[in-house]
Amino acid sequence: MNSMKRICVFCGSNSGDDPVYLEAAEEVGEFLAANGIELVFGGGRVGLMGKVADTVMAKGGRVIGVIPAALDKKEIAHRGITELRIVDSMHERKAMMAELADGFIAMPGGFGTFEEFCEIVTWGQLGIHKKPCALLNVNGFYNDLIGLFDYSTKQSFIRSEHRDLVIVGDNIENVFDLMKYYEPPTIEKWIDKEST
């Protein structure tokens, strides 16, 4: 069983049109705080990311935000959290969040959320880390992306062992349980011999 003391949550700097997304963000924040798990996130105080952070803080939990200086004003850096780290670049932000966290959850979001999640999954594929990566599929938000992952696996662009890098659940309790028992793939190579 994996011991997860810090979870990195990737999610939107917007809230989306459906209130279910903000409700899910609040549920995630409540769950993390209730279980003594620190939140690592992108450091903004707006959108879903702000809601998760605000909820963890309101429930007595700990929050570490990581934001590039260039986004300090655009994403409105959250100064009401336990610790705010301002870094020089997006690359440094992602590397620091990856280092701090014991696992990763992507909630609904846009291009930035998709990119952060796919990069951290790729790092798992390459063996750079062995931490669980999960999609919190709120209200079916990620159904099409999950379908794309499955289709890419069917077309032999993703090995089935690597498809299993992506954990999927529709509520935080389910996702966290799957993350606790995650076993990283033992396969070392991601390209077949005949492809080289």
Range of the domain at 48: 6-180
Token readout for 141 is: 């938000």
| pLDDT score at 72 | 79
Amino acid at 168: V
- Tell whether 161 is covered by a domain: yes
CB atoms within 10 A of CB 76: 16
* Average confidence (pLDDT) over 86-112: 96
In the block, residue with structure tokens 């655009």: 74
DSSP code string of 59-99: TT--EEEEEEGGGTTTTTB--SSSEEEEESSHHHHHHHHHH
Question: Which strand (E) or helix (H) includes residue 185?
Answer: none
What's residue 196's pLDDT?
Answer: 41
In a domain, 195, yes or no: no
Domain assignment present for 60: yes
pLDDT, one tens digit per residue, over 35-55 is 999 999 999 999 999 999 999
Give the whole-angstrom CA distance, residue 12 versus residue 109.
4
> What is the largest distance, in Å, between two alpha-carbon atoms of the chain?
55
- 35 touches 179 (CB < 8 A): no
**Helix (H, G, I), strand (E, B), or coil: what is residue 167?**
strand
Q: Is residue 191 part of a domain?
A: no
Residue 189's pLDDT is: 58
Tally the domains of the chain. 1
pLDDT at 194: 52
Identify any residues that bridge with 41 across adjacent strands, giving them in sequence order.
65
Is 140 domain-assigned? yes
The verdict on residue 186 lying in a domain is no
Q: Quick one: how far is CA 187 from the chain centroid?
A: 23
In a domain? residue 1? no
Q: What CATH number corresponds to the domain at position 63?
A: 3.40.50.450
